Amino acid sequence: MFEQLKQQIQEKKARVGVVGLGYVGLPLIRAFISAGFRAIGFDVDDAKVQQLRAGKSYIGHIPSEWIADCVQSGRFDATSDMGRLSEPDAILICVPTPLSDARDPDLSFVESTADYIGKALRPGQLVVLESTTYPGTTRDVVLPLLQQSGLQVGEDFFLAYSPEREDPGNPQFAASNIPKVVGGMDPRSAELAVSLYKYAVVQVVPVSSCEVAEACKILENTYRSVNIGMVNELKMVFDRLGIDVWEVIDAAKTKPFGFQAFYPGPGLGGHCIPIDPFYLSWLARKNGLSARFIELAGEINTWMPDYVIDRVIEALNEQGKAVRGSRICILGVAYKKDVDDPRESPSFALIDRLQQRGAILSYNDPHIPRLPRMRHYDVPDLKSTPLDAEFLASQDCVLISTDHSAYDYDFIVRHAPLVVDTRNATKNVKSGREKIRKA
């Protein structure tokens, strides 16, 4: 089985299956198809499947024209039929790994996917988990579900872990341009996974085990979470001292060694950084340890939307207005600039808190025309409102949550009576600065 699959991969005859056709799975399919493989995508959301089959993309940086061409040429097929998981030679799992309400790991998507694969598993398949998770998940959660098939890992089928490193909206780092860490359940599994990924990415970085690869991803995102937590805390301290944290960071980053710039904001967003550190702290508690440093950063970052709301309240109070009844427009609901990805965006925490306080809300985001439903928030049914002069003048406050490049900040400040800026987006605005409040 090993030699046969290895040869199929080398000849690019192996068919690649990807489970989960979101911001990780779809770019990964594109990388493999561009490398000369055929691919089949699996997703339980039949609406996504039908859209892809019609040659339409729902992700901004994946062109519909490319999807249509791949479907018409037979290089790509999409399905919601998990019974077809026996068809691919390699199955890559790219499903969500959210947190429960208690901030514990929610592996239900991984477990259900592994169960589907286990029921369809045939000899000669390679399975790779890409979903971000805690060390031990591949061995302790995925492997037992696959072994229900009666097949033996390393002999009949092969299993590895390779953490996704997708950076949505960053043209410099497409999926194929980012080195891929790969850890196998056994040497044969590792060799096959390395052999497969080397065709689709710029560099493969083999490590000794699935656990090392899983821990690598957790380290990468915890590193960011802790440093962002630090600058968020410094923002609050410096604000009390009358010091602009953004100017401090700009000055500090002129040091050519020993410093990397991280920036404050209204909270963490995206699927990884707000979630992964809690996976690690949960694992530490499970093993009788306390990850205090990590948990403290998580607490600070989680509290940032409340800090922003306090600044909005202060800014409105200066004008003799209460939040209740005030018209507030949120600028940007994507989790970062210039993308259409709303996952875990702090904007929804801001919307939720302002709704609770009775604000009359609107929003604008050139990348998200209608507010999507979110797991943890009661999201109002709103469409993106055009930013014309009359609309801006009618608002009591414009709250910049995501600093999209498409925004004309001079125009916004000129026409809005009050602007609360969480991203330093208005730093180059010269006139009307008396209307701007930093948060």
* CATH code of the domain in which 306 resides: 3.40.50.720
Query: Pick the catalytic residue: 70, 272, 329, 397?
Result: 272
Domain stops at, among 212, 230, 254: 212
Structural domain total, the chain = 2
Largest Cα span, the chain: 75
Same domain for 207 and 249, yes or no, is: no
CB burial of residue 56 (10 Å; 0-12, 13-18, 19+)? middle
- Whether 138 and 259 share a structural domain: no
Let me know if residue 186 belongs to a domain. Answer: yes
Same domain, 24 and 121: yes
State pTM to two decimals.
0.90
Residue type, 34: S
**Does 43 reside within a domain?**
yes
Degrees (nearest 5) of the Cα angle 339, 344, 348?
Answer: 90
Last residue of one domain, picked from the residues 212, 228, 252: 212
Co-location of 176 and 316 in the same domain: no
In a domain, 174, yes or no: yes
Cα dihedral angle (163, 168, 173, 177), rounded to 10 degrees? 50
Same domain, 265 and 168: no
Q: Give the pLDDT confidence of 316-325 residue by residue, as tens digits.
A: 999 999 999 9
Q: State the pLDDT at residue 169.
A: 67
| 153 plus 262 within the same structural domain | no
**Is residue 134 located within the same domain as residue 277?**
no
Do 71 and 208 sit in the same domain of this protein? yes
Phi/psi-derived region of residue 55, left when phi > 0, alpha when psi is between -120 and 50, beta in every other case:
left
Average pLDDT over every residue of 396-425: 98
Q: Do 428 and 283 have their domain in common?
A: yes
Q: 223 lies in a domain? A: no
Q: What is the Cα–Cα distance from 337 to 234, expressed in whole angstroms?
A: 22
pLDDT tens digits along 185-208: 999 999 999 999 999 999 999 999
pLDDT tens digits along 226-260: 999 999 999 999 999 999 999 999 999 999 999 99
Does residue 259 share a domain with residue 196? Answer: no
Is residue 237 domain-resident? no
- Determine how many CB atoms are found less than 10 A away from the CB of residue 415: 20
**Can you give the pLDDT at residue 193?**
98
Q: Give yes or no: residues 202 and 280 share one domain.
A: no
**pLDDT, the chain, mean:** 94
| Active-site annotation holds for 210 | no
Q: Domain limits at 202?
A: 2-212
- Asked if 248 and 205 sit in the same domain, the reply is no
